[in-house]
Amino acid sequence: MVLCVDSPRMTDRMTPLESPPRSDLEAELARRDEEILRLRDLLIIRDAELGDAKGRLAMIEQASRRLGEAAARVPIPGATRLLHALIRFVQRAVR
């Protein structure tokens, strides 16, 4: 920053010669505000998508758990293995 002295007797009154115009600063602040809002909107969208994915995953896990419990109650030999294989297949398909 370059400073100038108004007069030799007024050495305590120094003013900056080069200060950016107020309109440039306001324009920069407006651009930054727009960018902040854009990024905030993207974050909100991403959080919503993540919530949807977590909800679907919870539903699939619950269905898998129910199938596993049902398989444990089936007295038919080999049916438990078949149901466990089906559960693993469904879990892999989701990933």
- The tens digit of pLDDT for each residue in 44-73 reads 999 999 999 999 999 988 988 888 787 777
Residue 51 domain-assigned (yes or no): yes
Q: Residue 75 has what DSSP assignment?
A: -
First to last CA, the chain: 59
Q: Left if phi > 0, otherwise alpha if psi is -120 to 50, otherwise beta: which for 78?
A: left
Q: What is the pTM of this model?
A: 0.49
| pLDDT single digits (tens) 25-40 | 999 999 999 999 999 9
- The whole-angstrom distance between residue 10's C-alpha and the CA centroid of its chain comes to 56
- Residue 37's domain comprises 18-94
Contact status, residue 91 vs residue 60, Cβ threshold 8 Å: yes
Residue 11 domain-assigned (yes or no): no
Residue 13 domain-assigned (yes or no): no
User: Would you state the structure tokens that stand for residue 47, as one six-digit string?
Assistant: 């959080």
Residue 2 domain-assigned (yes or no): no
Residue 10 domain-assigned (yes or no): no
Largest CA distance in the chain: 106
Number of domains within the chain: 1
Residue 58 domain-assigned (yes or no): yes
